[in-house]
Amino acid sequence: MDLLALRGRWPSAQSRCRAGLAATLGLAALGLACGKGSTRGAQASGPPGIPVKVETAKLISVNDTTEYVSTLKSRATAVIMPQVEGVITDIYVHSGSRVSAGTPLMQIDPAKQQATLKTQEDTVKAKQAELIWDQQEYDRNSGLYEAKVVSKQVLDQSKAALEQAKAQLQALQAQVRQEAVQLHYYRVTAPSAGIVGDIPVRVGDRVTTTTPLTTVDKPGSLEAYVYVPIERSSQLRPNLPVQILDQSGTVIAEGRINFISPQVDSTTQTVLVKTPIANSNDKLRNAQFIHARVVWGSQDRTVVPVLAVSRLGGQYFAFVAEQQDGKTVAHQKLLRVGDMTGNNYVVLEGIKPGDKIVVSGTQFLVDGAPVLIPQG
């Protein structure tokens, strides 16, 4: 067979090289096409959802309350002031002492009053001696008148002198009693049982009838003074509940409004209300500042668990699981919250009853992230 025949039967080396290159490119294109199809499938399925736990936002009846700083005042506090003037010579008690009615508290120098009383008593004794003389004179003139030795006029004069002496003696005796009572006031005593308050005076101080000496507080009887802003004064009414709270927010005493001031404080633009507070365990003190919660009423509010709420930049947020394009996604909601009730926040705005609130896994969520909610 000649060379030309062989060339027609077998392809040249160049042709074989071209055929191999075409096959390689075809396989590469096929692989690329398969790869693109796989990527599209992955993109179409999307990232897997984050498993979360949800709770349904509920509508419950909650109290509408407002807290104010109030002042406690004793309903049985006696402000002790002297009834006489003088210099304090002794103080028998200390601040915080428990006293009974009639217990001596202080002594004001009684020397001047004692001298006055002694003078009055001596005057009474002199008048008593004078009365005895006038009585004897009247008796003598009565006998002489019967013997017709003296006239009726002399008898009448002696009788008038006797009556005048009696009246003067009675007046002097009344003055002595008055001065004795006045002397009693120089020893200051407790008007009732209680606890002695602050004692601003010292031995040697001169006091007058307007000088406060101390106070005596009867334990177990206090009154809360609450100043309510005028904006809410229209809602005030007698018997509104008031709760007294400690530093942790726990209710330690309760009462009801029994006084609403008819006037507005021109300085603070508030209205004073009062409520009696039971203090049988003596946890509260006179003049103590404390938080008072006024309960205006109750109304239905949406509540969400505290664990579902996060705070960012002073604002409150929560994730709500919602349906979107056939998938369940978490949307972040801005909330306006009120007081806490139990382990829940009262939500004023941002969530409605029936919303599915995400309560776990929130640290992994962003707005619009797909979520998986376990069934059952």
The domain that holds 243 is classified in CATH as 2.40.30.170
The answer to whether residues 290 and 320 belong to one domain is no
Q: What is the mean pLDDT of residues 221-233?
A: 91
pLDDT at 167 over 50: yes
The answer to whether residues 225 and 165 belong to one domain is no
Q: Is residue 285 part of a domain?
A: yes
Domain that holds residue 163: 110-185
pLDDT at 287 over 90: no
Report the candidate in 231, 218, 162, 230 with the shortest Cα–Cα distance to residue 192: 218
The answer to whether residues 339 and 282 belong to one domain is no
The answer to whether residues 294 and 222 belong to one domain is yes
pLDDT at 372 over 50: yes
The answer to whether residues 125 and 178 belong to one domain is yes
Q: Is residue 91 part of a domain?
A: no
pLDDT at 43 over 80: no
pLDDT at 288 over 90: no
- Looking at the chain, the whole-number percentage of residues with pLDDT higher than 70 is 86
Task: Point out the domain boundary residue: 164, 185, 206.
Answer: 185
Is the four-CA dihedral 189, 195, 201, 207 of positive or negative sign? negative
H-only helix segments in the chain: 3-9, 13-45, 111-146, 152-184
Angle CA(297)–CA(59)–CA(56) in degrees, nearest 5? 155
CATH number, position 354: 2.40.420.20
pLDDT at 47: 62
What dihedral do alpha carbons 186, 187, 191, 194 form, nearest 10°?
140
pLDDT at 37 over 50: no
pLDDT at 17: 43
The distance from CA 3 to its chain's CA centroid, rounded to whole angstroms, is: 118
Q: What are phi and psi of 42, to 5 degrees?
A: -65, -40
Q: Is residue 288 part of a domain?
A: yes
Task: Point out the domain boundary residue: 280, 299, 318.
Answer: 299
Q: Is residue 192 part of a domain?
A: no
The answer to whether residues 234 and 293 belong to one domain is yes
The answer to whether residues 266 and 319 belong to one domain is no
Q: What is the mean pLDDT of residues 254-282?
A: 90
For the stretch 191-221, pLDDT in tens is 999 889 899 999 999 999 999 999 998 877 7
pLDDT at 30 over 80: no
The answer to whether residues 305 and 283 belong to one domain is no
Q: Is residue 271 part of a domain?
A: yes
pLDDT at 233 over 70: yes
Burial of 65 (0-12, 13-18, 19+ CB in 10 A): middle
Q: What is the mean pLDDT of residues 296-306?
A: 88
Q: What is the mean pLDDT of residues 74-91?
A: 91
| pTM of the model as a whole | 0.53
For the stretch 112-126, pLDDT in tens is 999 999 999 999 999
Residue 49 is classified by DSSP as P
Whole-angstrom distance, CA of residue 368 vs CA of residue 325 = 12
Report the candidate in 78, 102, 106 with the shortest Cα–Cα distance to residue 93: 106
The answer to whether residues 356 and 324 belong to one domain is yes
Q: Is residue 181 part of a domain?
A: yes
pLDDT at 7 over 90: no
Task: Point out the domain boundary residue: 299, 331, 353.
Answer: 299
The answer to whether residues 306 and 348 belong to one domain is yes
As a 3-state breakdown, the chain gives helix, strand, coil percent values, each rounded to 5, of 30, 40, 30
Q: What's the structural domain count of the chain? A: 3
Q: Is residue 197 part of a domain?
A: no
Q: What are phi and psi of 180, to 5 degrees?
A: -65, -40
The answer to whether residues 288 and 318 belong to one domain is no
pLDDT at 343: 85
The answer to whether residues 309 and 295 belong to one domain is no
pLDDT at 38 over 50: no
pLDDT at 46: 57
Q: Locate 90 and state its tokens.
A: 């002794």
pLDDT at 87: 96
Q: Is residue 80 part of a domain?
A: no
pLDDT at 34: 45
Q: What is the mean pLDDT of residues 124-147?
A: 92
**Three-class DSSP category at 142:** helix
CATH number, position 130: 1.10.287
Q: Give residue for tokens 């209205």.
A: 271
Burial of 67 (0-12, 13-18, 19+ CB in 10 A): middle
pLDDT at 20: 47
Q: What is the DSSP string of 280-348?
A: TT--S-TT-EEEEEEEEEEEEEEEEEGGG-EEETTEEEEEEEEEETTEEEEEEEEEEEEEEETTEEEEE
